Amino acid sequence: MVFHLIIAGRDTTAGLLSFMAYELARNPEVQEKLHQEIMQKLPPQSSLDWKSLSATDMPYLNGVIYETLRLWPPVPLDPKMAFEDDVVPGGFTIPKWSTIAYVPYAMGRDATRYPEPLAFRPERWIPFTPPAHHEFPVFQAGPRICLGMDMALFEAKTITVELLRFLRFEMVEGFCAVWFGSAPDGEIGFDLFKAKRVEIPGRETNGVSFREEWVHQLPKGVRFFQTLPRDKESPIIPLALDPGPINGWDTVAANAYYLDVVLLSMLFGKIGRELSPPDELGLCTSVEVSAPKFAFSSKDLPSFIKEVDLDKDAHQRDPERARAGGPVPIKDGCVLDHLGLGPTSSKCWEALRKVRTILGWSKQVGSEGVYSSKGNPGYFKGILTLPGFDYKSLRVEEMKMMASVAPGCTFNCVNDSKVVAKYRLQVPERIYNLPNISCKNSLCVSNPVNRQREIVAYLERVPYYVSSVLPNCTESEYLYVCKWCRWPHVYENIWDDLRRPGESTR
């Protein structure tokens, strides 16, 4: 896995460092500010770690990196091919085998989002607020976001600090300000800094190419760069030009090799032995799997679990309740109370079914039933009794699933026929990774009808607001909105039916 991350991020990170050096050479005042920050906060011999290179501790360094990524994304255009007919959010149909692409290069130069878009201004990112991945897709976004994003940023910052401790970048005399790259209309020359198009030989209606006999027509000092490896079958830049004066791509490759040397040396312990992550960040220093976090193992309960104070009467279960049709008291285990509390019994039965099914308790021995609520006349509630159940083994994840399925229920821990602890589960802020939830927007990428199975439903709690998509919605305390398309839902509507076709509720 480590080798995959290093190899996949070699050329892209090297491209980032190359263009950063270029911008620092073009903007000596920026380079001087960065040098001063480095020498003040991370002088030679000082250790580099995650915290010392963070946006909080090194804001200008972080700004330089992100400003470089904005202007010079390592993958300027990212095409995707549809292997079957698809529909993207917004209702656009993508036919099978068609290609759709997004262009981080153009998005980073959008004047409506970035004033003076061609100016290199690290101050745009100070104070630092991480950009939304879909608005700044340098590392892609969503479930396929780059796994090595944090590693690449840490690498780039580490190497930048090491270089600028001892070196300066200067522009070569006579450097040409015209850059060449592919454009949608077939022109391959354009001045990035003056927004001026330049006609050069090689323009063709069916694509972009370049020939060796045209080299003498190029302006003096021009260089070609290509961040990613070339296609050897049909290269845009012919292989015959490798030894020529326009070869700038080998410089990027050389930077990548240097980057590999540093990373592999760190991987095998030749350098960086003293670079241990700070304890307060809770970073792993080994590959051991962390132990599960149990819900009731400490007093620091998750925010959705609230401990209920027990009075004297609440400690002892009342045997008379069983004679009146209530559940039989148990000696040890747990009792879930107030499941599906409401004016209809069907809601209670559905809550019982959800708890059993989603938490995998269908094989647990116990009893369940729906009863009238003594504290809420005219209301019904579901009660699930699990004798001998080891409630101390419940993990935080399981309790969160229970709170998602049956918010407002109470969880009673019973030992020696006494309730030793009682907790009320509140609605969690996010509901996800459950088998029977979905966004009800048919155009959402997470909706099951669109068959994007790797994208799971993810709903976030927000304060209630009036929406035209919920015309008959009764005002409540909150709504749930889809993380992917922002479609609002009332809590009851996020759930799919767990019943098999033809099966009815009790």
> Would you call 286 helix, strand, or coil by DSSP?
coil
Whether 290 is in a domain gets the answer no
Is 249 found in the same domain as 100?
Answer: yes
Closest CA to 22 of 170, 156, 123: 170
Q: How far is CA 435 from CA 365, 406, 458, 497, 503, in A?
A: 23, 15, 11, 11, 19
User: Structure tokens of 436?
Assistant: 């029977």
Which residue(s) pair with 372 in the sheet?
Answer: 380
| Alpha helices (H) along 27-148 | 28-41, 59-71, 104-107
The arithmetic mean of pLDDT across residues 219-234, rounded, is 66
pLDDT in tens, 156-166: 999 899 888 88
Q: How far is CA 405 from CA 355, 424, 436, in A?
A: 7, 13, 10
Whether 420 is in a domain gets the answer yes
pLDDT for residue 190:
36
What is the CATH classification number for the domain harbouring 25? 1.10.630.10
Whether 162 is in a domain gets the answer yes
Within 119-267, strands assigned E span: 179-180, 189-191, 196-197, 203-204, 207-208
Within 62-154, strands assigned E span: 78-81, 86-88, 92-94, 99-102
Closest CA to 132 of 115, 113, 119, 148: 113
pLDDT in tens, 91-133: 788 899 998 888 999 999 999 999 999 999 999 999 999 898 8
User: Structure tokens of 443?
Assistant: 């155009």
pLDDT in tens, 321-378: 555 556 778 889 999 999 888 888 888 888 888 888 878 787 788 888 898 888 888 8
Nearby residues of 360 by Cβ (< 8 Å), 6 or more positions away: none
Full domain range(s) for residue 436: 431-506
Whether 42 is in a domain gets the answer yes
Task: Check pLDDT > 50 for residue 182.
Answer: no
Residue the block writes with tokens 């745009």: 124
Is 87 found in the same domain as 31?
Answer: yes
Q: CA angle 398-403-408, nearest 5°?
A: 150
472 vs 319, higher pLDDT:
472
pLDDT for residue 354:
82
Task: Check pLDDT > 90 for residue 70.
Answer: yes
User: Structure tokens of 121?
Assistant: 């201004």
Nearby residues of 255 by Cβ (< 8 Å), 6 or more positions away: 14, 17, 18
Closest CA to 195 of 116, 136, 138, 124: 116
pLDDT for residue 232:
64
pLDDT for residue 282:
39
Is 255 found in the same domain as 370?
Answer: no
pLDDT for residue 271:
54
pTM for this predicted structure: 0.45
- Amino acid identity, position 364: Q
The arithmetic mean of pLDDT across residues 271-298, rounded, is 47
Confidence band for 184, pLDDT divided at 50, 70 and 90: very low
Q: Which of 362, 393, 428 is the endpoint of a domain?
A: 428
Residue the block writes with tokens 């580099």: 48
Is 348 found in the same domain as 230?
Answer: no
What is the CATH classification number for the domain harbouring 418? 3.30.70.140
Is 263 found in the same domain as 131?
Answer: yes
pLDDT for residue 397:
77
Cβ distance 116 to 123 under 8 Å? Answer: no
Confidence band for 268, pLDDT divided at 50, 70 and 90: low
Which residue(s) pair with 79 in the sheet?
Answer: 101
User: Structure tokens of 89?
Assistant: 């959010």
Confidence band for 279, pLDDT divided at 50, 70 and 90: very low
User: Structure tokens of 127?
Assistant: 């104070």
Closest CA to 410 of 320, 340, 350: 340
23 vs 166, higher pLDDT:
23
Q: How many domains does the chain have?
A: 3
| Alpha helices (H) along 27-133 | 28-41, 59-71, 104-107
Whether 309 is in a domain gets the answer yes
Residue the block writes with tokens 């946006």: 55
Q: Which of 276, 292, 316 is the endpoint of a domain?
A: 276
Whether 184 is in a domain gets the answer no
User: Structure tokens of 340?
Assistant: 């599906």
Is 435 found in the same domain as 417?
Answer: no
Whether 366 is in a domain gets the answer yes
pLDDT for residue 266:
58
274 vs 81, higher pLDDT:
81
The CA distance from 37 to 31, in Å, is 10
Is 442 found in the same domain as 414?
Answer: no
Is 351 found in the same domain as 250?
Answer: no
The arithmetic mean of pLDDT across residues 370-391, rounded, is 88
Handedness of CA 18, 20, 25, 31 (dihedral sign): negative
Residue the block writes with tokens 């050329």: 11
Is 311 found in the same domain as 353?
Answer: yes
pLDDT for residue 201:
44
Is 63 found in the same domain as 25?
Answer: yes
Whether 362 is in a domain gets the answer yes
Is 348 found in the same domain as 489?
Answer: no
Query: Half-sphere exposure (CA, 13 Å, Cβ side) for 300?
Result: 1
Is 111 found in the same domain as 240?
Answer: yes
The arithmetic mean of pLDDT across residues 495-500, rounded, is 60
Q: Which of 393, 428, 463 is the endpoint of a domain?
A: 428
CA-based radius of gyration for the chain: 30
Confidence band for 68, pLDDT divided at 50, 70 and 90: very high
pLDDT for residue 122:
96
pLDDT in tens, 436-450: 788 988 888 888 887
